[in-house]
Amino acid sequence: MKYWSIMDKYCHVCKNKLVTSFPSYSDLYRVTSDCKPWKKGGYLSLCDNCHTIQCFINDNWKSDVNIIYHDYSVYHQSGGYEQQVFIEGSPVPRSQRIIEAVINNYSIPSEGRILDIGCGNGSFLRKFHTIRPNFCYPVQRFQTAMSK
């Protein structure tokens, strides 16, 4: 894959001025975050400092995001249930795997508050509640999502 360094864009995370772009990325068909086929195009870059993979935000990106989220349907292929990942051959909800990894690698208290930005239909919060039932969820909308 061809690439080049771009000096007039900044990393979204660390504000590093030098990022590496992959121009042949725009030749590939894409998939949206709700698992729908998406047209070719866009830009994909890698920050040379913090190594975050990222897109450049421009008018085309904003237009794509508006279209994608206008008709967004989370987990539509599984009837609203999150996808499974396979651990040692057994299916496990993706959010459970993430929560276990966080709890095994960081000191997470038994009580606290959590906010999931971009929570979809609340799968992560529902699963988190089963593992840390004494956490409270500060926004009523998330509590509603958890009750489903």
Please identify, using beta-carbon distances, which residue of 13 and 103 lies nearer to Zn ion. Answer: 13
Please identify, using beta-carbon distances, which residue of 12 and 36 lies nearer to Zn ion. Answer: 12
Please identify, using beta-carbon distances, which residue of 9 and 127 lies nearer to Zn ion. Answer: 9
End-to-end CA, the chain: 45
What are the start-end ranges of the H helices in 44-147? 59-70, 94-105, 123-131, 140-146
Please identify, using beta-carbon distances, which residue of 48 and 116 lies nearer to Zn ion. Answer: 48
Q: How far is the CB of 10 from Zn ion (least distance, A)?
A: 8
Looking only at the bridges linking them, the beta strands covering 112-113 and 135-136 are parallel
Q: How far is the CB of 41 from Zn ion (least distance, A)?
A: 23
Q: How far is the CB of 45 from Zn ion (least distance, A)?
A: 10
Which amino acid, residue 112?
G
**Cα–Cα distance between 63 and 27 in angstroms, integer?**
18
Q: How far is the CB of 104 from Zn ion (least distance, A)?
A: 27
Angle at 123 between CA 122 and CA 127, to 5 degrees: 115
Q: Which residues here bind Zn ion, judged by CB under 5 A?
A: 11, 13-14, 16, 47, 49-50
Q: How far is the CB of 17 from Zn ion (least distance, A)?
A: 10
**Cα–Cα distance between 2 and 92 in angstroms, integer?**
37
Please identify, using beta-carbon distances, which residue of 11 and 145 lies nearer to Zn ion. Answer: 11
**Cα–Cα distance between 5 and 17 in angstroms, integer?**
10
The DSSP bridge partners found for residue 76 are none
